[in-house]
Amino acid sequence: MGGNLIDYPYDCSTRTADVTTSKIMWNSVISTEGARYMTADVKNFYLCTPMDRHEYMQMPINLIPQAFIDEYDLTPKVKNGFVYLRIVKGMYGLPQAGMLANKLLKERLEEHGYYELPHTPGLFTHKTRPIWFTLVVDDFGVKYVGKEHANHLMSVLKEFYDVEEDWTGSLYCGITLDWHYEDRYLDISMPNYVQKQLLKYKWNPPKSPQHCPFNPAPVNYGKKSNIIIPEPDSPPLSKEGKTYVQQVVGSFLYYARAIDMTILHALSEIASQQANPTERTLLRVAQLLDYMATNPNAKIRFRASDMILNIHSDASYLTAVLRRSRAGGYFFLGSLPQDHRPIHLKGNILITCAILKLVAASAAEAELGALFLNSQEAKVICLILAELGHPQPPTPIHVDNTTAVGIVNNTIKRQRSRAMEMRYFWLLCQEAQKMLKVSHHPGLENLGDYPSKAHFGPIHRHVRPYYLHMPNSPPILHRASMPSTWRGCAEILGDRYHNKIPLPRIPPYRGTGHTGPVPLSHAQARTEAR
């Protein structure tokens, strides 16, 4: 028996909460007076669910213990060495098991006043009680104000299931939660996860630290500005090598989305090559693993806030293959931004790192493409926040391109931008409806700059404390002392900035003289850009 051998003609999809929804809830717990968090796990969740139709399983008789054969008198029922069994409860591996178990659970919860919120998959609340919970298969993450309400939920579940409770709320879906309610902050991490993956791939730590997960491709400047230098041909990998690359990407993707966003760009680039990987792809995988071995333990710290969504949006023009541009976004919960006031770093809930499908005709168009993608994510997150009891003002979005800001705010003439696809002017509608508030902030103040590009090792070492919680992580991101005169996304630090204020980026690559090729050997892959 296996799910691939069973033809189930109906829908098998199940709504479940994603890691972003969980991060928003954890922020809500820290930011809500008197709120607490606990987790619960339903044992044998699928096996407690009746089937909706007959399914049968063919099992070799030699795999069944003799005690079962005697108890159920199976010997006369053996045919050609097999015994045929009818499945009466949901079994792990059946395509419909998860859907049936989830449907039955919802019906049982609805009888006691619990229901799934309409716009957020896997997020539930009660009609009258101050309690919310996320559901991932059989794992409950519960926010409650008053322990009696959490006890009510547990009593409902225990009517039908065997439930394991954890009132410390220290572990959820593989993520470790370290709660500090009195000081109103939360640390999330996945300890030993990286070490386990490196052990699985039998990867030894590098002889010297690797501070760069992915070497950026060299680019031309001047008349051929932003044109990527073509890479030399590289032999394709075997089927085993292709599988190995895909396994590495799959192993670290959840970790990157949940905790260490510094590897998102590297995973994105490697994933784009995993269908037809080459030896160069394998070298990049080796560099990524060396980086993970150098930085095995990452942590994010969430602090109490006003629960207002802030977005930093950025794009890198023509830095991807086939003349594509890359979008980056940094989403965090804080307060309404004020001019010349520092930005308090309270931990990201979402990082976007994607290649724009269109070929942008200008840097402004690339910025609008990134803004469009990030604004779509913002609408979803605002719905989640509203359903958790945190209604949102117009979402503040920081963009470092004045032309893009002017187009969205309708403050500049658009004669040269009329060729842009009309979907980008969806942003105008959102701004007119007071759903967004787009403003200009220079790139050195824009936390979306980092995931939009590949960087060299010194930059990674410089910015990790801004995106992850480390002993040297600053509590705030300083702002310019005066309104910025920065234009576009390829300029340098201007005179109107404090010279001694640490910012999340070091000066851009122009003028550094680093235009060397991407490494071609394993040794170079380990040593380049440390």
For residue 519, pLDDT beyond 50: no
In a domain, 78, yes or no: yes
Name the phi and psi angles at 403, rounded to 5. -65, -45
Tell me, yes or no, whether 489 and 383 share the same domain: yes
SS3 (DSSP) at 332: strand
SS3 (DSSP) at 453: coil
Tell me, yes or no, whether 275 and 410 share the same domain: no
Tell me, yes or no, whether 371 and 388 share the same domain: yes
Q: What is the DSSP string of 159-188?
A: TTSEEEEETT--EETTEEEEEETTTTEEEE
In a domain, 391, yes or no: yes
Of 7-21, 55-69, 285-299, the range with the highest mean pLDDT is 285-299
Tell me, yes or no, whether 272 and 316 share the same domain: no
Tell me, yes or no, whether 23 and 118 share the same domain: yes
List CB contacts of 519: < 8 A, sequence separation 6 or more: 215, 283, 287, 525, 527, 528
Quick one: which of 341, 314, 315 has its CA closest to 446?
Answer: 314
Looking at residue 415, its pLDDT comes to 56
Tell me, yes or no, whether 357 and 411 share the same domain: yes
For residue 21, pLDDT beyond 90: yes
Identify the CATH number of the domain in which residue 306 sits.
3.30.420.10
- The enclosing H or E element of 377 equals helix 363-387
- Last residue of some domain: 189, 224, 247? 189
Residues 330 and 448: their CA atoms lie apart, in Å, by: 5
Of 138-147, 225-234, 480-489, 502-511, the range with the highest mean pLDDT is 138-147
Domain hosting 259: range is 205-294
Of 216-220, 258-262, 316-320, 368-372, the range with the highest mean pLDDT is 258-262
Q: Please report, as a single letter, which amino acid is at residue 231.
A: E
- Last residue of some domain: 294, 318, 343? 294
Between residues 230 and 117, the one the model is more confident about: 117
pLDDT, average across residues 325-339: 87
- Domain count along the chain: 4
Identify the CATH number of the domain in which residue 182 sits.
3.30.70
What is the share, in percent, of the chain residues with pLDDT greater than 70? 82
In the chain the first and final C-alpha atoms are separated, in Å, by: 50
Looking at residue 512, its pLDDT comes to 38
Looking at residue 495, its pLDDT comes to 35
For residue 158, pLDDT beyond 90: yes
Mean pLDDT over all residues of the chain? Answer: 82
Residues 318 and 321: their CA atoms lie apart, in Å, by: 8
| Confidence label for 509 from pLDDT (cuts 50, 70 and 90) | very low
pLDDT in tens, 200-214: 999 988 889 999 898
Tell me, yes or no, whether 364 and 506 share the same domain: yes
For residue 362, pLDDT beyond 90: no
- How far, in whole angstroms, is CA 116 from its chain's centroid? 23
Tell me, yes or no, whether 392 and 433 share the same domain: yes
Residues 56 and 429: their CA atoms lie apart, in Å, by: 55
Tell me, yes or no, whether 146 and 277 share the same domain: no
Tell me, yes or no, whether 280 and 308 share the same domain: no
Looking at residue 407, its pLDDT comes to 77
- The enclosing H or E element of 18 equals none
- Last residue of some domain: 278, 294, 310? 294
Residues 190 and 175: their CA atoms lie apart, in Å, by: 5
Looking at residue 276, its pLDDT comes to 86
Between residues 352 and 504, the one the model is more confident about: 352
- The enclosing H or E element of 28 equals helix 19-31
In a domain, 119, yes or no: yes
Tell me, yes or no, whether 361 and 426 share the same domain: yes
In a domain, 279, yes or no: yes
Between residues 174 and 515, the one the model is more confident about: 174
Tell me, yes or no, whether 459 and 477 share the same domain: yes
